[in-house]
Amino acid sequence: MAQTDERQEQPVSRRKFLKNSGLVLGGLVVGGVAGSLLKTKAPPAPQAAPAAPDFNQALMYFTPEQFRVVEAATERIFPEDEHGPGAKTLGAAYFIDHQLAGDWGFNSREYMQGPFYPGEATQGYQGRLKRREIFDIGIQEMNNYSTAKHQKRFYELEPNQQDGVLKAFESDEVKLTTISASGFFKMLRASTLEGVYADPLYGGNKNMDGWRMKNYPGNQMAYTQVIEQDKFVKMDPVSLRDHQHG
């Protein structure tokens, strides 16, 4: 997938980059990330090892049934095609699972005090439910709707039937009382894209293949050499893991 022949820039490790750039760091600002990095010891030479299993691919929040629904839905939102892998292969559903298990799932950095009143759309989310609770309900309702309509659970449907269900949620054609169907769909769509494109450290964007599809080089140290170039510069991506171990 990496188009080595077209590559004009080699990804540089932090250490090498800092040595090459002769970077000047703040006078009064002692140290800095860059400074402290220069002092760290070089990592041991890489050894060829057999591919280890991905220990990250286990569930922190979803039940296996919930996971199946979410995985199938993310794949319809971002399907595998001639451009490359879809959300399923990229691990977006694991990403969502892991996110729901933490701060984001608990809305812990958001204002969740009452009183709760329905507001105008321009006032934003005003519900009392946390994201994990919205997912619980939304997933259940997707199965309910699928069963009512096609006598099958969501993940057992044909892809075009699944699209129909998702559209019914997106357009609020599904009438729900506890949550907004379209609000749930929006969250599902947004978190699918996060799972496809966030740093692989979070469990999605497996092998950085989401980034490769978009010709996104990940988080390189610097683009001073690229910034003025007229030609598109393709690079093999680097991730935060490379920042720590590179």
Whole-angstrom distance, CA of residue 81 vs CA of residue 88: 12
Which positions from 54 to 73 touch other proteins by CB under 8 A, shown as an x/- string?
--------------------
**Least distance (Å) between residue 199 CB and other proteins:** 6
3-state secondary structure of 84: strand
Q: What token pair was written down for 68?
A: 């199946």
Judge contact between 7 and 235, C-beta under 8 A.
yes
Residue 139 or 196: the one with the smaller Cβ distance to other proteins is: 196
Whole-angstrom distance, CA of residue 82 vs CA of residue 93: 21
Q: Any contact of residue 199 with other proteins (CB under 8 A)?
A: yes
Q: Which residues lie below 8 Å from residue 198, measured CB to CB, with a gap of 6+?
A: 95, 204, 205
Residue 5 or 81: the one with the smaller Cβ distance to other proteins is: 81
Residue 51 or 227: the one with the smaller Cβ distance to other proteins is: 227
Residue 68 or 76: the one with the smaller Cβ distance to other proteins is: 76
Judge contact between 178 and 139, C-beta under 8 A.
no
Stretch that binds other proteins, among 52-60, 136-144, 147-155, 220-228 (CB under 8 A): 220-228
Judge contact between 218 and 237, C-beta under 8 A.
yes
Which positions from 106 to 135 touch other proteins by CB under 8 A, shown as an x/- string?
-xxxxxxx-x-x-xxxxxxxx---------
Q: Any contact of residue 160 with other proteins (CB under 8 A)?
A: no
Stretch that binds other proteins, among 17-25, 43-51, 145-153, 176-184 (CB under 8 A): 17-25
C-alpha R_g of the chain? 22
Q: Please select the residue that binds other proteins; options are 29, 45, 48, 52, rule is CB under 8 A.
A: 29
Closest CA to 172 of 193, 150, 151, 145: 145
Q: Please select the residue that binds other proteins; options are 16, 19, 83, 152, rule is CB under 8 A.
A: 83
Strand partners, 33: none
Q: Any contact of residue 222 with other proteins (CB under 8 A)?
A: yes
